[in-house]
Amino acid sequence: VQQDCLEEVARRDSAPAITCPKPGSRRCLSAAAPDGIPPMLAQSRLPSLLLLLPRLRAVAPGLAMSSATGTVTVQQPLNYRAGARVQPADGGQLEEVFEPATGRVLCKVPCSGEKEVDLAVQSAKAAFKIWSQMSGMERCRVMLEAARIIREQKEEIAIMETINNGKSILEARADIDTSWQCLEYYAGLAGSLAGEHVQLPGGCFGYTRREPLGVCVGIGAWNYPFQIACWKAGPALACGNAMVFKPSPFTPISVVRLAEIFTEAGVPKGLFNVVQGGVATGQFLCQHPDVAKISFTGSVPTGMKIMEMAAKGIKPVTLELGGKSPLIIFSDSDLENAVKGALMANYLTQGQVCCNGTRVFVERKILDTFTKEVVKRTQKIKIGDPLLEDTRMGALINRPHLNRVQGFIKQAKEQGAEVLCGGDLYVPDDPKLKNGYYMRPCVLGNCKDDMTCVKEEIFGPVMAILPFDTEEEVVERANATKFGLAGGVFTRDIQKAHRVVAALKAGMCFINSYNASPVELPFGGYKHSGFGRENGRVAIEYYSQLKTVCVEMGDVECVF
């Protein structure tokens, strides 16, 4: 059964690219034109993609494009096992996947059943025997080659990500950049993984070996499909593990390309496999006896269920869950930077970011000035076709999620909050986009700590502004949440800044910035936001285990 994946790529005329001076962090945006693309690509999306078609075929084999409509058809399976795209051995019902920008069905994907999951795990298990015996430097070279391929195909992968996810092409390019950077970083660590030597009495000694776990499972989220897969695969493969990855059923397309890239780079066939599906497929993965570790990115309720399943098999788990993070703006802040920080903390990926600082605490002295400027800047955000260069906010992931976000805004008004701007549905001028899942970014004023919009994760472009008077007060209120993923503070007083972040109960904190997540630093939260870490050298500890070896150099002492 072929996967019919219709990708509408004929779009409105695009505007000139805009560049950002700070490339490199997870969500820092760079819209520089891709190398080797002719200038005419800035004129129309249709000729752009027609010219890119030979390269797009490398991303999704089997592509065919209509020169009249710009419609791309993909006729390839989205499961990947033993080094090839495969039809699932026991594919269940077909699940529709929607293109956020247009609201049309993008493709229909069969959910992988227990047999397909087992075949994927067994394939990974066989490849693990080869990969785990390779030296760190051998693994390093393969991972560097994978990073090179991703870097070379950045534009094609970003287009695929935008079509499937709905975020702006500007952000998608940044995601792909941080994906290959992640693989490069862990490739560099692969050759340095080592244990320790300990001298013991009597000339004896001991040492430790850092060894891989085996077959690891990665379960991704729909807001950063390709990037999350790299964040999990990078440390896992560097340590010598194999991986079976399940992307979100809402965004199944781009991760299979990552699997192909790993194979092209030289990993043993089967080292990185992809299974598609929803809850049942995830359960088969988590409960499989040959799975050694689970890494999950997603909601708190699902994370709890995964913990329960993993506990039955005594499997280690890394959980990167939700958040309702505070962003604290003191009156001595640089107002322009504070406003920009609040925008970055709330509106990237249409507000669908787990660590967003959606509770914006503003010192009362500057509340009116700050709020006025934030509202003005929010109203200017360009919404529309995510494939256009000047778009800054694309479409939310699907209709049910859009309705959920709208429900939070309605409830906020009922509880006394004031909509200062946005919050309503947005219909682009382009008729091809009229059924897309768009809304105007929203700023809520007159918020109270006990309101649902302040307590619960909305996961949409909704900023709640709350006034405060003292440092002690705002720290206490900022920590009064079940979540603990992130927190931020804007102030010119560096002592105050360090004092506040030390008091915040959150895994990641930002001073005079927000939402920068370089691969060199750990990413993860406290409390209900999960545990374990992704990125940074510490992630190696979550994908490896220590073996202790004691060596006796003399005769054995025996009391018997």
- The separation between CA 178 and the C-alpha centre of its own chain, rounded to angstroms, equals 10
Among candidate residues 297, 429, 426, 385, the one with its CA nearest the CA of residue 100: 385
Q: What are phi and psi of 199, to 5 degrees?
A: -80, 130
- Do the beta carbons of residue 436 and residue 102 sit within 8 Å? yes
Furthest-apart CA atoms within the chain: distance in Å: 89
What gap in Å lies between CA 528 and CA 358, rounded to an integer? 17
- Do the beta carbons of residue 253 and residue 260 sit within 8 Å? no
* Paired tokens of 546: 């220590």
Question: How many C-alpha atoms does 208 have within 13 Å on its Cβ side?
Answer: 11
Among candidate residues 413, 323, 397, the one with its CA nearest the CA of residue 359: 323
**Which residues, at least 6 apart from 470, have a Cβ–Cβ distance to it below 8 Å?**
none
**Taking each helix axis from N to C terminus, what angle separates 169-190 and 225-238, rounded to the nearest 10 degrees?**
0
Among candidate residues 534, 496, 535, 526, the one with its CA nearest the CA of residue 512: 496
- Do the beta carbons of residue 490 and residue 468 sit within 8 Å? no
Three-state secondary structure call for residue 511: strand
Catalytic one of 156, 260, 320, 534: 320
Straight-line distance from the first to the last Cα atom of the chain, in angstroms, rounded to the nearest whole number? 69
- Sign of the CA dihedral with 260 first, then 263, 267, and 270 last: positive
Q: Which residue has the tokens 């959920």?
A: 404
Cα–Cα distances (Å) from 49 to 16, 43, 71, 73, 551, in that order, read 17, 11, 10, 13, 63
Beta pairing, strands 79-81 & 84-86: antiparallel
Q: Which residue has the tokens 């054995």?
A: 556
Respond yes or no: is residue 95 known to be catalytic.
Answer: no
What gap in Å lies between CA 91 and CA 346, rounded to an integer? 38
Three-state secondary structure call for residue 207: strand
Beta pairing, strands 105-110 & 94-98: antiparallel
Among candidate residues 193, 211, 186, the one with its CA nearest the CA of residue 128: 211
Q: Please compute Rg for the chain using Cα positions.
A: 24
Among candidate residues 461, 504, 514, 511, the one with its CA nearest the CA of residue 483: 504
- Do the beta carbons of residue 57 and residue 201 sit within 8 Å? no
Bridge partners for 97 per DSSP: 107
Q: What are phi and psi of 530, to 5 degrees?
A: 110, -175
Q: Which residues are catalytic?
A: 320
